[in-house]
Amino acid sequence: MNLAQALRLLPHPNLAGTSSRIRGQEGGWQAVAFAGAGGKTSALFQLARDLPPPVITSASTHLHVDQVRLADSHWQITTPAQLPALESNLTGVTLFTGPLEKDRAAGLNSATMARLGEECASRNLPLLIEADGSRQRPLKAPGDREPVIPMFSNQVVVVAGLAGLGKPLTGQFVHRPEIFSSLSGLEPGESITLDAMARLLAHPAGGQKNIPLSARRILLLNQADSPDLQAQGMQLASRLLPAFHSVIISSLINSRIHAVCEPVAGIILAAGGSSRYGQPKQLLDWHGKPFVRVVAEAALSAGLARLVVVTGSHAEQVERALEGLPLLLVRNRDWRSGQGSSIQAGLRTLNQPPVPGGSLETPSIQASGEEMGAVLFLLADQPQVTPGIMRALVEHHARTLAPIIAPQVAGQRANPVLFDRSTFSELMTLKGDVGGREIFKRIQVEPLPWDDAGLLADVDTPEDYRDLVNGQ
């Protein structure tokens, strides 16, 4: 996985040759601003090389002459009128800055940057912008006028160097250490901790400063050059995801993306009529609790970012079994048409705020979990599925961004199955009772080897139920 794929500007390699509806790219023109410290310029130009040419780069702040040389061509302009026409025959990486002053190039002024944004948008050319400076320190706090992020930016990448962890809070390791101290609560000279770094990055005057409200916020934890720093990056990611849409852990000096941590939702499919069994399987007893409640409690224990339960047949009884849990209930009035309609009802509901025991009719909006990186589909008649396998699937997704991941037990595919956001549009086309299996014909399923034969158990008959209960 390269940086462009981690930022979801290019599709996952496993999606090559599939339907045009299945795309890793978020769609539309991309203007990506970079702020922070710890490899910001390296990230910008590495992304520029990952994307199909031509790519336009610029800066709203000074760039050192050595950084200017990373581009294939360089234009120095001071007014919008000097901006050359962006011809279709542009190649490679083109950099636009203000004039060179000794060993630095000035950033573009706001009017010229706005015109450059308009030109790039009209030609659908990606525009990558460096929005502040850090004097090559691993960490920084923004000054009064930083970062200078154009309002048209639709992605903002905040970069922080994990190499700063454990170092003293001094100017040697932190640009603007006095502001870092004020925002993080750390005293000058004290060792920089995970807590202090998390506070700084989540602070409105720190890592969140000047980011346009409509922009996608990405935290790039760079310099994860050892297993220990990678582990600390994962700890930071778990704390900072509420403040960012995505947290990427990288070692850009080695061209490595170690993980892309994004919110993952769970959708429990609990709408079926259990016609073969003869009574609602969702309500069968599992050591004193209904099946569906056990599945929901396991999903909540796994730390999923949001949980939706789709009901249909016996909806009132199923919903009563879930009372008091922080999840969303959605009734699929079309449940008899098959599992596909329940999958779609769940996806449309993801962006609704979770409330205890909340209930919604099937929404008419077409939202499908815009803030979720993936969805884990769970079956209401599989109470034996543990939080451990759910967490393992989420962690595997963070390492790979694979489009579909499923447990593999003794050579057989099992449930639950995780679907990356790049497959959501395809899931919304499903019809009948085939469920996600229909997509398996077009997209490679990545297996996650798992040693738990219980995942293969189905409850289709009373005998199956007795065997499952006795086996546990």
Tokens 């009132």 — which residue?
316
> In 3-state terms, the chain is what percent helix, strand and coil (to 5)?
30, 25, 45
Share of the chain above pLDDT 90, in %: 74
Q: Give 274's pLDDT tier (boundaries 50, 70, 90).
A: confident
Mean pLDDT of 121-143: 94
Give residue-wise pLDDT tens across range 303-316. 999 999 999 999 99
Give residue-wise pLDDT tens across range 340-398. 899 999 999 886 655 444 444 433 323 334 589 999 999 999 999 999 999 999 999 99
Q: Give 86's pLDDT tier (boundaries 50, 70, 90).
A: confident
d(CA 273, CA 271): 7
Strand 326-331 and strand 306-311: the pairing is parallel
Give residue-wise pLDDT tens across range 445-464. 999 999 988 888 888 888 88
Per-residue pLDDT at 459? 84
In the CATH scheme, what is the code of domain 3-51+126-261? 3.40.50
Residue 72: pLDDT above 80?
yes
d(CA 375, CA 373): 7
d(CA 226, CA 205): 30
What the block records as the tokens of 227 is 């297993």
Give residue-wise pLDDT tens across range 5-59. 999 998 877 775 554 333 334 557 899 999 999 999 999 999 999 999 999 999 9
Strand 446-449 and strand 216-222: the pairing is unpaired
Mean pLDDT of 70-95: 88
Kindly list the domain boundaries of the chain, sorted by start residue. 3-51+126-261, 264-471
Strand 326-331 and strand 355-356: the pairing is antiparallel
How big is the CA angle at 457 (ends 456 and 461), to the nearest 5 degrees? 145
Nearest-10 crossing angle of helices 227-240, 194-202:
40
The pTM (predicted TM-score) of the whole model is 0.91
Q: Does domain 264-471 have CATH number 3.90.550.10?
A: yes
